[in-house]
């Protein structure tokens, strides 16, 4: 569902009702443009700040109701004095913070001017993006909502110095917002609505943006030898699917694509190795990796990214039927490698093994990045603040880290190596799908690496950030849409031609 906010850029004007937002630093002085629009408000702000001990600290606010001599319902003063450790303003975060403070108002004007001068158009566009992401709601299944609790649409006017430049900068941000919102929607949907075939249909809607879609059913996957992926889904009444999304936006249509692979376990009971009942409902979000890849493809296509890109999502349901795989079973993957099943709850890596092999073999990509809510072990290691990054390529890993720092979707590189790889050697097959409690996130990544040849590859374990992650200034949703902004930034900075 989209956020209940409409936004537009305009030249800054004087207040005409609603909420009027201005920014100040430690001096509490307004930018010249804001001061001109708010004649006589400087003394009012100074007096109110003294009473409230407001000092203009970053992400603090002073809310003046029915301000005397100012033609608005509320004058909202936002502090932007940066901390010593913060090198620059995070405008997306600022936009989200402001929306949180505006609340249920129907109209607001933002005087988007820095206390000591103009902010640039890119900053205004990021502010707009953060505002929309903060306002996102997923309440389509609530039928009994009190009138006072129903969301109202906020009409946001962002006053800037250069309207045309802000509008141009905002075009790509709107595409990213659309991608994040799509990813959030997919993660938030209940599993009886978003099962593999239904997910494939939702991904197929990207055709209207110019994305080419191929959907492989179980018969097609069996013909390809995808025994690993199909093994996971064989206990479910819902059929499995593999969806390939292709965006050909590079000037050279024959240029090698970049590739993104998503784990799409639409519901994970754990299979025969069944999970405890407590919090099992959260396992509807075990497809957050596939949701991110779908949202990313939406963003790339919407902004006409100059890149050839592949998005591949393996969609299954892991259920404990009498036909489900058992611990002790041996599956044969598309690569020909055999896999001993130790724990049927280590299923995501089985899905990814076949999809990774298929993508590298068919499309010969520049790189592959997979995203998966893969292990609880990564939560033990990193909590819900950063995703675990594993890679066979230092340059790709460094670029992901840089994109994470730029977007706030941070990653932390974890080790890979032969000693960890030995842990998943099997007595009866080429590899086993679980290596025990120790180094669980690492051995899961080592398993995936066995299905990657020389292609530069990175694995992002997003179990801590893809769902039920801590709320932030730009995300109040259970499904975060994490990874769309990170990977879009990676592509924009390094791979568009």
Distance of CA 356 to the CA centre of its chain: 21
**DSSP 8-state secondary structure symbol assigned to residue 81:** B
Interstrand relation of 117-118 and 113-114 (parallel, antiparallel or unpaired): antiparallel
**Where in the sequence numbering do the catalytic residues fall?**
275, 349
Report the greatest alpha carbon distance in the chain: 82
Element (H, E) at 459: strand 457-461
Whether the CA torsion 289, 293, 294, 298 is positive or negative: it is positive
Distance of CA 45 to the CA centre of its chain: 38
Element (H, E) at 356: helix 348-363
80: left (phi over 0), alpha (psi -120 to 50) or beta: alpha
**DSSP 8-state secondary structure symbol assigned to residue 209:** G
Whether the Cβ atoms of residue 93 and residue 61 lie closer than 8 Å to each other: no
Q: What is the number of other CB atoms lying within 10 angstroms of the CB of residue 404? A: 22
CA 16 – CA 439 distance, rounded (Å): 60
Structure tokens at 239: 């059929």
Tell the burial category of 111 from Cβ atoms under 10 Å away from its Cβ (0-12, 13-18, 19+): buried
CA 421 – CA 430 distance, rounded (Å): 12
Interstrand relation of 241-248 and 212-216 (parallel, antiparallel or unpaired): antiparallel
CA 207 – CA 384 distance, rounded (Å): 34
Phi, psi (degrees; rounded to nearest 5) at 437: -70, -35
């Amino acid at each position: 569902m989209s956020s209940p906010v409409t936004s537009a850029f305009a030249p800054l004007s004087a207040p005409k009702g609603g909420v009027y937002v201005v920014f100040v630093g430690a001096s509490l002085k307004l930018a010249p443009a804001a001061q001109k629009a708010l004649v006589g408000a400087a003394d009012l702000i100074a007096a109110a700040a003294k009473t409230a001990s407001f000092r203009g600290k970053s992400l603090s606010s002073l809310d003046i109701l029915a301000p005397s001599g100012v033609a608005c319902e509320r004058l909202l003063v936002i502090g932007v004095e940066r901390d010593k450790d913060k090198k620059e303003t995070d405008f997306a975060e600022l936009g989200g913070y402001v929306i949180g403070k505006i609340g249920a108002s129907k109209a607001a004007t933002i005087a988007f001017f820095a206390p000591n001068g103009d902010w640039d158009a890119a900053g205004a566009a990021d502010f707009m993006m953060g505002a929309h992401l903060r306002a996102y709601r997923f309440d389509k299944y609530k039928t009994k909502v009190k009138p006072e609790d129903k969301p109202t649409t906020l009409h946001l006017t962002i006053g800037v110095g250069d309207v045309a430049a802000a509008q141009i900068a905002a075009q790509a941000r709107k595409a990213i917002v659309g991608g994040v919102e799509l990813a959030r929607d997919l993660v938030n949907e209940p599993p009886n609505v978003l099962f593999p075939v239904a997910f494939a249909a939702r991904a197929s809607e990207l055709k209207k943006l110019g994305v080419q879609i191929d959907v492989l059913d179980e018969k097609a996957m069996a013909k390809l030898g995808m025994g690993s992926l199909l093994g996971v889904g064989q206990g479910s009444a819902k059929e499995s699917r593999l969806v390939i999304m292709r965006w050909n936006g590079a000037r050279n249509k024959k240029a090698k694509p970049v590739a993104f692979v998503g784990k799409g376990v639409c519901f994970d009971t754990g299979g025969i190795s069944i999970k405890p009942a407590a919090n099992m409902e959260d396992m509807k979000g075990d497809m957050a990796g596939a949701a991110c890849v779908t949202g990313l493809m939406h963003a790339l296509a919407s902004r006409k990214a100059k890149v050839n890109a592949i998005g591949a999502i393996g969609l299954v349901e892991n259920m404990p039927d009498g036909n489900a795989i058992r611990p002790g079973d041996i599956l044969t993957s598309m690569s020909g490698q055999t896999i001993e099943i130790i724990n049927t709850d280590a299923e995501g890596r089985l899905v990814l093994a076949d999809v990774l092999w298929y993508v590298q073999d068919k499309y010969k990509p520049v790189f592959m990045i997979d995203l998966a809510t893969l292990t609880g072990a990564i939560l033990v290691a990193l909590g819900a603040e950063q995703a675990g990054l594993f890679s066979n390529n230092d340059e790709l890993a460094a670029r992901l880290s840089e994109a994470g720092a730029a977007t706030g979707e941070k990653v932390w590189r974890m080790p890979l190596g032969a000693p960890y790889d030995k842990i998943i050697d099997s007595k009866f097959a080429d590899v086993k799908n679980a290596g025990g409690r120790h180094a669980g996130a690492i051995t899961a990544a080592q398993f995936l690496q066995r299905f990657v040849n020389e292609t530069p590859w990175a694995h992002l374990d997003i179990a801590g950030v893809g769902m039920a992650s801590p709320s932030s200034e730009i995300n109040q949703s259970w499904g975060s849409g994490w990874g769309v902004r990170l990977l879009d930034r990676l592509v924009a900075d390094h791979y568009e031609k």
